């Protein structure tokens, strides 16, 4: 049995968790909207066509924000097409995903859904085929009380009170050649600066997210971030990161080691942000919005067979297995270890499209990745402690990968200490100890584990709990020393308190 030691001190903190780190994403893509959160005529839908069974599952995830409406989709989207009387809304081609967008669900429906789902909006503006004027108009429509053309248009559409959206994305993946209206770093930086400046003239209370490079592996990575921030540093509050991982080679140890690459990615972007801060001699720090992250590779082959110009096809519908849930847990742990700078994050996406929740005409169910997200979102509030992990490592293409991914959190309001941990050893249990004499009066209140004998095990509508967490009693406190046994290939939540 391998042995690992966790070291923490309640005075050595990384930072407070911004609850928006547990955000998600709904794009007009595949069945995320249509048949996902919106399905008029379904026995599960309410009077607005919003699926109540899906909302109930989303509430279990405790998602504070949802990014909308894209994604690649937003770079060709006219938000005006999705407001007003539905019988007057145009059907249009969507070049991002080669489908027909009916516009029967739009901005106002999304805001209604957000309230019912107990979440709030992270709205994206089109800086691909549109620009500053349209960015100004949508903020006016959403956030002004009245007395102007677009605010009064919202009121005409039946929404007397402003939507008051506080967080806005300035476009999406603008360095990607697949993006409609993609730009050079200089072009985008200037556009983001002007759009952001005008948007904040309309509503000074909003926060803005500038596009980072589309991926760590883009040729533009690094120089893009530096150039963009050099142009728009004063106008923006966050810089975005996007990253997906897959296991197409069926090499689970390498796949689970993706957290090493993710950690380096975050650290690199922080360094670039702080470099620009130093060059500009600013006091303000740019924080990070990891607003697209997930496992994504299962659906690539089937998506190549889709016909063009259909409506709401089964697109990007990854069926997640147990090993995917382990990586999702590891990715969330990695972001929490950078909680001082990663303030916003969005699991991409929420329903049907590379999602923790799937739907059919007969119900909705939870995929394997639902559980680590829900457990960390619901238990991971408070202060992240600087967590030093002494654990065996194994060699990977990303560098040495620790067998134990771990982070500890202190919640002073609830008087609890929570440990999130992934044992990546596929064959052996691990004995973990942690000196908690600073919390000597705490006891182990709960130990939850997510594990399965089959790395490829999945959940289905017929067997929705094939992979699901269970409570165990494999952790104890003796004289201020925590000891726990973490079974092979497993994710753990250990909560201590008085």
Residues 6 or more apart from 55 whose CB is under 8 A from it? 37, 113, 116, 117
H/E stretch holding 449: strand 443-451
Peptide bond into 71 cis (omega under 30): yes
| Largest CA-CA distance found in the chain, in angstroms, rounded | 70
Handedness of CA 245, 249, 255, 257 (dihedral sign): negative
CA angle 250, 252, 255 (to 5 degrees): 95
Residues 60-91 as b/e (b if ≥16 CB within 10 A, e otherwise) read bbbbbbbbbbbbbbbbbbebbbbbbeeeebee
H/E stretch holding 185: helix 185-202
Q: Is 89 helix (H, G, I), strand (E, B) or coil?
A: coil
> Is the Cβ–Cβ distance between 310 and 99 less than 8 Å?
yes
Which candidate, 15, 41, 49, 344, places its Cα nearest to that of 167? 344
Is 173 marked active-site?
Answer: yes
> Is the Cβ–Cβ distance between 381 and 411 less than 8 Å?
yes
Which candidate, 226, 210, 213, places its Cα nearest to that of 176? 213
Is 323 marked active-site?
Answer: no
CA dihedral (475, 12, 394, 292) in degrees, to 10, reads: 100
Q: Write down the catalytic residue from 80, 173, 317, 323.
A: 173
H/E stretch holding 328: helix 322-336
Which candidate, 391, 373, 370, 403, places its Cα nearest to that of 257? 403
Peptide bond into 331 cis (omega under 30): no
Residues 243-261 as b/e (b if ≥16 CB within 10 A, e otherwise) read bebbbeeeebebbbbbbbb
CB atoms within 10 A of CB 352: 28
CA angle 205, 210, 212 (to 5 degrees): 155
Q: Is 419 helix (H, G, I), strand (E, B) or coil?
A: strand
Q: Write down the catalytic residue from 35, 80, 101, 292.
A: 292
Place of tokens 């592996």: 217
Task: Give the residue numbers annotated as catalytic, written as ranges.
Answer: 173, 292
């Amino acid at each position: 049995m391998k042995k690992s030691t966790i070291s923490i001190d309640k005075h050595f903190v990384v930072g407070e968790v911004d609850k928006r780190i547990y955000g998600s994403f709904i794009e007009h893509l595949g069945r995320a909207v249509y048949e996902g959160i919106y399905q008029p005529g379904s026995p599960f839908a309410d009077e607005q066509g919003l699926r109540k069974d899906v909302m109930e599952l989303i509430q279990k995830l405790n998602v504070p924000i949802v990014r909308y409406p894209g994604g690649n989709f937003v770079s060709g989207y006219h938000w005006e097409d999705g407001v007003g009387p539905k019988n007057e809304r145009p059907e249009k081609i969507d070049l991002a995903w080669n489908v027909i967008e009916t516009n029967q669900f739009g901005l106002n429906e999304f805001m209604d859904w957000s309230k019912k789902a107990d979440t709030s909006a992270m709205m994206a503006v089109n800086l691909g085929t549109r620009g500053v004027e349209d960015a100004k108009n949508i903020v006016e429509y959403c956030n002004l009380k009245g007395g102007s053309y677009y605010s009064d248009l919202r009121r005409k559409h039946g929404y007397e009170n402003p939507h008051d959206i506080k967080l806005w994305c300035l476009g999406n993946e603008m360095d990607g050649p697949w993006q409609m209206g993609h730009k050079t770093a200089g072009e985008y930086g200037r556009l983001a600066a002007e759009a952001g400046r005008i948007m904040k003239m309309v509503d000074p209370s909003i926060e803005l997210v500038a596009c980072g490079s589309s991926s760590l592996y883009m040729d533009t990575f690094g120089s893009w971030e530096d150039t963009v921030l050099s142009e728009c540093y004063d106008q923006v509050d966050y810089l975005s990161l996007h990253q997906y991982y897959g296991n197409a080679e069926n090499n689970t140890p390498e796949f689970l080691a993706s957290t090493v690459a993710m950690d380096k990615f975050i650290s690199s972007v922080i360094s670039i942000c702080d470099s620009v801060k130093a060059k500009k001699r600013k006091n303000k720090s740019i924080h990070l919005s990891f607003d697209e992250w997930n496992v994504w590779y299962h659906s690539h082959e089937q998506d190549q067979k889709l016909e063009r110009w259909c409506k709401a096809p089964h697109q990007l519908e990854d069926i997640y297995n147990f090993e995917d849930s382990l990586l999702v847990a590891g990715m969330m742990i990695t972001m929490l270890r950078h909680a001082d700078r990663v303030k916003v994050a969005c699991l991409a996406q929420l329903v049907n499209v590379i999602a923790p929740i799937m739907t059919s005409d007969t119900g909705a169910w939870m995929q394997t990745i639902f559980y680590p997200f829900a457990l960390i979102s619901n238990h991971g509030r408070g202060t992240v402690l600087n967590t030093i992990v002494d654990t065996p490592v194994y060699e990977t293409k990303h560098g040495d990968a620790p067998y134990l991914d771990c982070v500890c959190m202190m919640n002073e309001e609830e008087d609890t200490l929570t440990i999130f941990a992934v044992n990546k050893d596929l064959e052996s249990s691990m004995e973990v100890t942690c000196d908690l004499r600073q919390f000597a009066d705490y006891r182990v209140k709960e130990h939850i584990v997510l594990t399965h004998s089959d790395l490829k095990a999945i959940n289905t509508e017929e067997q929705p709990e094939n992979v699901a967490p269970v409570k165990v009693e494999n952790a104890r406190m003796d004289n201020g020393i925590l000891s726990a046994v973490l079974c092979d290939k497993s994710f753990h939540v250990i909560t201590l308190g008085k």
